[in-house]
Amino acid sequence: ETGVTQTPRHLVMGMTNKKSLKCEQHLGHNAMYWYKQSAKKPLELMFVYNFKEQTENNSVPSRFSPECPNSSHLFLHLHTLQPEDSALYLCASSQVSGGDLYEQYFGPGTRLTVT
């Protein structure tokens, strides 16, 4: 068990819908991440939250909106998505404390299909 849960596991949505992905970590970590995984491409980092503060936004379109109400919960709000946004969305957490290990623990992902 990784200690990171994600819901829903599968999501099909139209381009005009609004939906949210949820992630919860039970590991006591202080950093959380959203990744997009597409076939044959490296994991694409979307957002990073460190101590609930967003520290990175890697040029992600505004149709993706993250929210981190506390260090255990992370949301990704979706609206007016495009078919090319279909992918596996992964949440991860890690304990960052000034060292260089950056070991990340992942949830099972949400398989998103935009129709």
- Which of 61, 103, 113, 115 is the binder for other proteins (CB under 8 A)? 103
Residue 62 binds other proteins (CB under 8 A): no
CA gap 65, 113 in Å, rounded: 17
Residues contacting residue 12 through CB under 8 Å, at least 6 positions apart:
112, 113, 115
DSSP 30: S
Residue 104 binds other proteins (CB under 8 A): yes
Residue 113 binds other proteins (CB under 8 A): no
Strand-pairing partners, residue 86, are: none
Piece of the chain touching other proteins by CB under 8 A; list 11-19, 40-48, 59-67, 76-84? 40-48
Residue 8 binds other proteins (CB under 8 A): no
Closest approach of Cβ 109 to other proteins, in Å? 5
The reply to whether omega before 8 is within 30° of 0 (cis) is yes
Residue 23 binds other proteins (CB under 8 A): no
CA gap 113, 59 in Å, rounded: 21
Kindly report the length of the chain: 115
Per CB under 8 A, residues contacting other proteins are: 2, 4, 6, 31, 40-43, 45, 48, 50, 55-56, 90-92, 94, 96, 100-109, 111
